[in-house]
Amino acid sequence: IAHKIKHELDTTVKSFVRRSTDKYGLAMQDYLKSLHKKSQSVSKKYKITSKRKGPLVKLVNYESEVSAMDKVIAAIIYESQRISYDEILAKVKKLSNSVKSKIILDFVKLRTNRRQRPPRAFEMTDYTFDIIGNFGMFRDLHRHRVLTMQRQLLTTDHGYNTPKEIVELGIQSEYDSCMKNTKRVFELMRTKMPEQSQYVVNFAYNYPFFMKMNLREAVHLIELRTIPQGHIDYRQVAQKMFLEIHKKQPTLSKIIKFVDLKSYELERFEAEKRIEEKRKHSK
């Protein structure tokens, strides 16, 4: 398929795709194949057999709040000073916790809406979340690019999500039957075609991935993904991410000022209605 696509593109936009098969493009293809092969061999050598069920949002890597505040405050000061970062950091470490907290809270007060991003100094500390959620939700969070994301193959190993609307409509048996059929077909394919078999997996099946992001990006992601119009699945994940950060860093987490922890039943539906109304009027 890829070769056929390349052939078709050559007839219209050859200048945009010619480098895919020049010496550097071919070398890159070999490099990517080698990376994949080496990753697979390392994975098989240290294989751990454990099947986890979702959903899950777990903060698996972070630093103490004191250390995080030290680095953020040092970066704030660095911008207006003429001395080295390590000298500033050494001085900041000697400040009392109450003084450090006041500095952070002063910056929290400056934000009047979620579009006003914190300064880049808040990129100095980061978090890694291990997440298992349905694949449809993952596709929304996957759009965020200012972070590190590692993912596994899509399988049926981690269970699936059943929306409450399915239960309320009285069609859970049909839904479960569909999901079981997906699993049956997937199991027939996975041994010989582990990558291709992903295409038969329903988006409701849970999918494991991890996300590593700095605090500034966490502010953007959490505040955006908890707005009332958001889908309930990624809203719940973003809310749990905030609560995990807040549990470990109660002062610093206040910079995530516009997180919405409420639960909404019809906001998404109302948003879809407004979009449909706009479509009608645009015709």
- Distance set, CA 48 to CA 12, 45, 169 (Å): 48, 9, 40
Round to whole Å and give the CA distance between 82 and 138: 44
> How does pLDDT run along the chain (283 residues), one tens digit per residue?
888 999 999 999 999 999 999 999 999 999 999 999 999 899 888 877 777 777 899 999 999 999 999 999 999 999 999 999 999 999 999 999 999 999 999 999 999 999 999 999 999 999 999 999 999 999 999 999 999 999 999 999 999 999 999 999 999 999 999 999 999 999 999 999 999 999 999 999 999 999 999 999 999 999 999 999 999 999 999 999 999 999 999 999 999 999 999 988 766 666 667 777 787 777 6
For the record, the structure tokens of 221 come out as 């992601």
Distance from chain centroid for Cα 234: 9
Classified as helix, coil or strand, 237 is helix
Give the per-residue pLDDT at 183: 97
Q: Determine contact, residues 139/234, Cβ cutoff 8 Å.
A: no
pLDDT in tens, 125-178: 999 999 999 999 999 999 999 999 999 999 999 999 999 999 999 999 999 999
Classified as helix, coil or strand, 206 is strand
Residue 201: which residues within 8 A CB-CB, separation 6 or more? Answer: 135, 154, 155, 156, 182, 186
Given strand 206-214, what is the order of strands in its sheet? Answer: 56-61, 126-134, 206-214, 148-151
Round to whole Å and give the CA distance between 55 and 238: 13
Cα Rg, the chain, nearest whole Å: 24
Instruction: Report angle CA 199, 205, 211 to the nearest 5 degrees.
Output: 95
Residue entry with tokens 């973003």: 238
